[in-house]
Structure 1
Amino acid sequence: MGHLRPRRHAADIVAGLATASKEILTEPATATQLKETQHMTLLLQDGAAFKAFFDKQVAYWGKVVKDNNIRA
């Protein structure tokens, strides 16, 4: 029996999930429900923009942890 291989690459799967998520989250009913129940307003970004945001947050909060000698 041969190795099982995915039919699509991980990047294709992530792109598909991103597209499906964006479609759901941009529906007016979904946006309204999130705003009313969770007090959330979504800012949908592409992968590169999210990575830049995430990297900035890691750097910022990492410095806070280090500067304040915070330990787990």
Structure 2
Amino acid sequence: MKHRQISSELGLELKEHSIDEIEKISKKLGVHPISALVALYLKEEQGVSVQTLLQRIKSDLDSDSDSSSDT
């Protein structure tokens, strides 16, 4: 699975990377920085699938856009 390869390349735990570092590593790997973040979260949250995490992200973002349109 590609997310395991990405998290392996990143090497360290999520908390040990700055956004700038993740962007640099992502560019080197040829992936979007959010893909790298998702890979790291999948590594930390064992047992969570890519689909589950992406559904959660979509739900969070959809909720945010719904609430901002109410203002």
**Higher RCO by CA contacts (8 Å cutoff, separation 6 or greater):** 2
Fold equivalence (TM over 0.5): no
Bin the TM-score by the shorter chain.
0.3 to 0.5
TM-score (norm 2): 0.38
Higher gyration radius (CA) = 1
